[in-house]
Structure 1
Amino acid sequence: MLNVKSLYAVGPVETKAMDTTQLRDNFHVSGLFEAGCINLTYTHYDRMIVGGVVPDGKDLVLDEVKEAGTASILDRREMGILNIGEPALVSAGGESHTLGRGDILYLGMGAGPITFGGNGRFYLVSTPAHRALPSRLVSLKDAASLYLGSAETANERTIYMFIHPEVMESCQLVMGYTMFHGGSVWNTMPAHLHDRRMEAYLYFDLSEDNRVFHFMGQPQETRHIVMKNEEAVVSPPWSIHCGAGTGSYTFCWAMGGDNVDYKDVDPVAMEDLR
C-alpha cells in the first residue's frame, strides 16, 4: 500500500505564531514505518521526499507517485535508501542489492521502479536530479568519517558520510548518519544555518521510553519538537537544526538544494541563540 502526504513550505514569520500542534503538523513526520506499506512525505522544501518502507516479508514496489508528476518516481529523481532493519533486498534498474543494517543504497535518475523485499526497515530520501548517475551500495566501512565534539561537552560523535562528494557523485542529494560515543547526546551543537539547502533528520536507535528534543527556528526565535524513535523532522533552510536526547540514539541526515558542500554552513554563536 502506498500512502503520500504533502508538507508545504512555510517561512520564519509564519512559524513564530505556531503552537505545538501546528509546529508538528508542518515539520514533524511520524508513522513512517508501517508493516506492508510505503509511506511517503512530499515536502515543498527543495522538493525532497522522505519515506519509510516495511515489506514485512513480501515484495513492495515503488513506481508511480502522483506528486512527483512522472510515470515512475525516479524518472527525474535520485534516491538514497538506508536500511535500519534486518538484511534485505532492494532491486531497481535490473540490479539487486542486499542491504545490511546501516547500509545506504544510491539509486540514480532513471533507475525505474524499486522493489523492496525481506524484513528490512527502509528509510528513503529522494530529490530532483538533472542527469543519470550510476547506482551504488555503500556500507559503513566504505563511508567517509568525521570525528567531532568531546565527552566534556556531551557531543562526542562520528559523522559517517555515504552519499557525499568524498565517497561518490550525486546530483544534489547528500546523505549519511551520525553515531554518538558513550554518554554524549547533543547533535549539531554549536548550531549553524545553511540557507542554500534544506535538511531532514530521522532519529532512530532510540529506546521506547526516551525522547530527542529537536531544536529549530531562527537563532533569535528557537522552537523545539519532541521526537520519538523512528520519527523524522524537516528543517527549512532558514532554521537551525540540533537536538539533545534523554538517552543514546543515531540520526540520519539528508540534504538537498543548491550545492553538495557539507561544510558550507553559517555558524551560529552561542550568545546569539534565544
Structure 2
Amino acid sequence: MREPLQTVTRFAPSPNGSLHLGHAFSAIFAHDIAKQAGGRFLLRIEDIDGPRSRTEFVDEFRRDLEWLGLEWEEVPPQSTRIDSYRAAADRLVERGMLYPCTCTRKEIEAIPARRGADGLVYPGACKGRSLKPDEPAALRLDVDKAMAELGELVWTDEKAGSVVADPREFGDVVIVRKDLPASYHLAATLDDAADGVTMVTRGMDLFAATHIHRILQQLLELPVPHWHHHKLLLDEDGQKLAKRRGSPSLAERRESGEDGLALAEQLRLQHMQSGT
C-alpha cells in the first residue's frame, strides 16, 4: 500500500516589485496548509522577466516572510532552469503541439476575436506556420490538437471539486514568448513538477489558467497536483491588490515598525471569516 504523498506547497513571487498584502495572504495560506499537514513550504523566485527582475527584491522578500513569522525552504530560482524550459518546448514542437506566431499585440487586436478569461482570444492567424531558423516568434499551443489527442482530462480543486480541463477559454496561448524562454504557463507547470509540489495554492484570478496547466502536464508526462484557489484580497475600491496600482508594500509596513506577526494573524482571521 502506497503511503500518502507529503504535502508540499510553494510561494513563487516575481522580483519585479515589492510584495503587498495580497502576496502576504497567499504566502501565509500556502505556508499554513503545509505546516498543518507536517509538510514542506517552498519559496521559489520567478526571475526570468528580463531586466524587470531585480535581485534586491529577493532579499526584501526574505525579510518580509521572516517578519511575518513564516518558515520556508528555498528552491533554485527560475533563472537556473532555462534548459528545462527549452527541452520541454522542443518536445512539444516535435509532437506538433506548438506553432510559431509573429503577430504583434496591435495586429491581434485588429483581428476580430472573442474575449475570454484572459483578454482577447487569439484567433489562430499563424496556425500551420513552420518554425524558421532565427525568426523572432512566440510559440503557441495548438489547443484543439492537444485536446483531440489527449481526450478528457480532469483536475481537482479543494473548493470546486473535480473540473474537466477545457483550455479553449484561452485559445492558443503563448507557451514560449518572443523575448523570454518560457511563458508563465510553461515555467510554473515545469517548476511545480520539479519541486515536488503536491498542492498548488494561488488566487482565484489564476483558476482558469489551470486548464492550460493540466493540458501541459499530460503532454509532458508530469505528475498532477491538487489545487486550492483562494479568494483575493481587495482594496477599498473592490479592486485586486497589485504592485502596479500602488498597493502599500510589506517592506514599507515592516520598516515603519508595524508588527508582522500581528499582521499575519489578522490575515489568517480574514481567511477564516471569508471561508477561503
TM-score (norm 2): 0.27
TM-score (norm 1): 0.27
Which of structures 1 and 2 has the bigger CA Rg?
2
Q: Which has the higher contact order (CA 8 A, sep 6+)?
A: 2
Higher share in strand: 1
Higher share in helix: 2
